[in-house]
């Protein structure tokens, strides 16, 4: 599917969060001061996608949670680095609050100095790479793909290609998205080369 047919933001949209969040955050989570362009906002989409799905457009560093009547909530995200981002269709097979994290064998092989020390895992918390929440992406016949939509406490990574294949939102925005997304929701990760 071509991006110009996929989703088009019309107008600036209506910011969903201003200076403070419109939802209760976990008590130990800091207040992330994000630039206005990185705040979630309701937008009109150009084609009729089914409501209540996640669509990730890597070219815009955007994740859309679709709503009825050709509307969506647009979140700014960081995505997988070149060669690590994986497009495809998935479903949310598991949801976890403050998930633990273990690097995959491929991650350890690529960067042993960075990841080998975590081969036995890292408990959930603010300094965990999966952040506040994780949506675990599965595929039929495969199960867990080890791809995630997850939180991060690193605001500078939003709007960039930084991760090992996943899509990341700032922690407080991830909590908000997590609460909206039920298990088995469809997730579409669009290719990076669409025009």
* Cα–Cα distance for residue pair 24/89, rounded to 1 Å: 31
Catalytic residues: 150, 166
Output the pTM of the full model: 0.82
CB 60 within 8 A of CB 106: no
pLDDT by residue for the chain (195 residues), tens only, comes to 444 444 444 333 433 433 333 333 466 778 788 989 999 999 999 888 999 999 999 999 999 999 999 999 999 999 988 888 889 999 999 999 999 988 888 888 988 998 899 899 888 888 888 999 999 999 999 999 999 999 998 999 999 998 777 899 999 999 999 999 999 999 999 998 643
CB 101 within 8 A of CB 136: no
Q: Which helix (H) or strand (E) holds 178?
A: helix 171-180
Q: Which helix (H) or strand (E) holds 180?
A: helix 171-180
* Cα–Cα distance for residue pair 162/170, rounded to 1 Å: 13
* Cα–Cα distance for residue pair 133/117, rounded to 1 Å: 23
User: Smallest Cα–Cα separation from 6: which of 47, 56, 60, 53?
Assistant: 47
Domains of the chain: 3-189 (2.40.440.10)
Strands (E), 29-159: 41-44, 54-57, 62-67, 71-76, 79-80, 88-97, 133-139, 143-152
CB 80 within 8 A of CB 86: yes
Tally of residues, the chain: 195
């Amino acid at each position: 599917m071509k991006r110009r047919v996929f989703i088009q933001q019309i107008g600036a949209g209506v910011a969903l969060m201003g200076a403070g969040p419109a939802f209760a955050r976990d008590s130990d989570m800091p207040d992330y001061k994000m630039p206005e362009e990185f705040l979630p906002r309701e937008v009109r989409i150009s084609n009729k996608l089914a409501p209540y799905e996640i669509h990730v457009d890597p070219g815009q560093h955007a994740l859309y949670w679709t709503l009825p009547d050709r509307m969506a909530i647009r979140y700014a995200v960081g995505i997988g680095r070149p060669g690590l981002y994986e497009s495809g269709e998935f479903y949310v097979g598991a949801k976890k609050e403050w998930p633990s994290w273990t690097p995959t064998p491929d991650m350890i092989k690529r960067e042993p100095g960075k990841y080998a020390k975590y081969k036995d895992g890292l408990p959930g918390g603010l300094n965990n790479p999966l952040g506040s929440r994780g949506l675990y992406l599965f595929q039929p016949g495969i199960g867990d793909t080890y791809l995630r939509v997850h939180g991060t406490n690193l605001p500078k990574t939003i709007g960039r290609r930084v991760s090992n294949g996943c899509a990341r939102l700032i922690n407080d925005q991830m909590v908000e998205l997590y609460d909206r997304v039920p298990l088995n929701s469809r997730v579409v990760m669009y290719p990076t080369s669409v025009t």
